[in-house]
Amino acid sequence: MKAIMYHYVREDVETLPHFKHLHIDDFEQQLDFFGKEYGFVKKEEFLASFKTGMVPEGVVLTFDDGVADHYKFVYPALKKRNLWGIFYVPTKNFSGQILDVHRIHLLLGGFDAEVLTNSLNKLVTLEMLTDIGRKEFTGDTYKSQSNSEATLAFKRTLNYTIGYEYRSQILDTLMFDFFGPDKKFHDFYASPEMLREMALNDMIIGSHSRNHFVMSKLSEAEQSDEIKGSFLELEQVISDPKVKTFCYPYGGFHSFNETTEKILTEQGCLFSFNVEARDISNEDILGRPQALPRYDCNAFPFGKCRQ
């Protein structure tokens, strides 16, 4: 069985010329490809495999970050084909603010990475880079993406090496300087109503934490708050989520630890996804359901970002 991971799936955005996304037409072509090549796993079969330990053959679709794209483009494309998917939502999406991780995407989508990185370097001091010494954050991140050096530097600093206590303020400044004081990104996220509708129509809505932080940067208490808090907040949106599932923000083995998996198991989470690119085996389902592997969509035909 193959789980596939998607993020932004949309039409091209004129105002954000470098915004990384899978075009909806390519997504539809990829669905056709998966249907012909592997077939899709039925939801009931997938969920039953956690009891039987027998993994069915075929593809399972997952979508990260709770963006409005998933309601506007993905959900209709799935419904048209009678398919289902798992949608992982950071619950701070419901706060009315754009999360830091997505402000980073918007900045890189709108502006030249080198100009952005130069501006960032003027704002960041060495004291702020509290996790610069962690080799797993500087060596092992973003290996499966093709990024320019400047994009890599911008993302690594803001997502991994900076202390979170400094990050939001720096992003406030960059957003103000680059987009101006009045720019708002309305309707960036799927609303609670949209997610409710999707959940009522066969989709699974899972937790992607509250703030989309790198879990391994957090203390046990902070991780616990991110996981328990997000499950509670999701339950308020989806009155009966039926399945408790999680996917790790960023998702590489550097991004979570034993503590994260322990908390998830204690919380009754049935399964969690990381981003290790390989098939899911019976051993994975039985032996380590809190670290199921997943492929990026770019590993298959039609899955490359146009930008």
Element holding 88 (H helix, E strand): strand 86-89
Task: Determine how many CB atoms are found less than 10 A away from the CB of residue 22.
Answer: 24
Taking the least distance from each CB to Zn ion, the nearer of 161 and 211 is 211
* Nearest alpha carbon to residue 294 among 281, 271, 307, 277: 277
Task: Determine how many CB atoms are found less than 10 A away from the CB of residue 208.
Answer: 28
Taking the least distance from each CB to Zn ion, the nearer of 55 and 248 is 248
Task: Determine how many CB atoms are found less than 10 A away from the CB of residue 27.
Answer: 23
∠ CA 150-139-169, rounded to 5°: 55
Taking the least distance from each CB to Zn ion, the nearer of 103 and 119 is 103
Please enumerate in sequence order all residues whose Cβ is within 8 A of that of 290, keeping only pairs 6 or more positions apart, or say none: 246, 260, 261, 264, 265, 269, 271, 272
Q: Which stretch binds Zn ion (CB under 5 A): 11-19, 61-69, 91-99, 182-190?
A: 61-69
Q: Are 303 and 296 in contact (CB under 8 A)?
A: yes
Q: How far is the CB of 212 from Zn ion (least distance, A)?
A: 6
> What residue number has its CB nearest to Zn ion?
64
Binders in 167-226 for Zn ion, by CB under 5 A: none
Q: How far is the CB of 234 from Zn ion (least distance, A)?
A: 15
* Nearest alpha carbon to residue 47 among 86, 7, 91, 89: 86
Q: How far is the CB of 88 from Zn ion (least distance, A)?
A: 7
Q: How far is the CB of 279 from Zn ion (least distance, A)?
A: 22
Q: Which residues pair with 60 in a beta bridge?
A: 3
- Per-residue string for binding with Zn ion, 65-104, x by CB under 5 A? x---------------------------------------
Q: How far is the CB of 157 from Zn ion (least distance, A)?
A: 18
Q: How far is the CB of 206 from Zn ion (least distance, A)?
A: 12
Element holding 180 (H helix, E strand): none
- Per-residue string for binding with Zn ion, 9-48, x by CB under 5 A? ----------------------------------------
Taking the least distance from each CB to Zn ion, the nearer of 90 and 289 is 90
Q: Where are the alpha helices (DSSP H) in 98-238?
A: 100-110, 113-123, 135-139, 149-156, 164-179, 192-200, 220-237
Cα atoms in the Cβ-side hemisphere of radius 13 Å centred on 102: 20
Taking the least distance from each CB to Zn ion, the nearer of 29 and 257 is 257
Q: Which stretch binds Zn ion (CB under 5 A): 53-61, 63-71, 123-131, 136-144?
A: 63-71
Q: How far is the CB of 296 from Zn ion (least distance, A)?
A: 12
Q: How far is the CB of 60 from Zn ion (least distance, A)?
A: 17
How many residues form the binding site for Zn ion (CB under 5 A)?
Answer: 2
Taking the least distance from each CB to Zn ion, the nearer of 119 and 211 is 211
Does residue 64 belong to the site contacting Zn ion (CB under 5 A)?
yes
Taking the least distance from each CB to Zn ion, the nearer of 119 and 255 is 255
Task: Determine how many CB atoms are found less than 10 A away from the CB of residue 201.
Answer: 11
- Which positions lie near Zn ion, rule CB under 5 A? 64-65
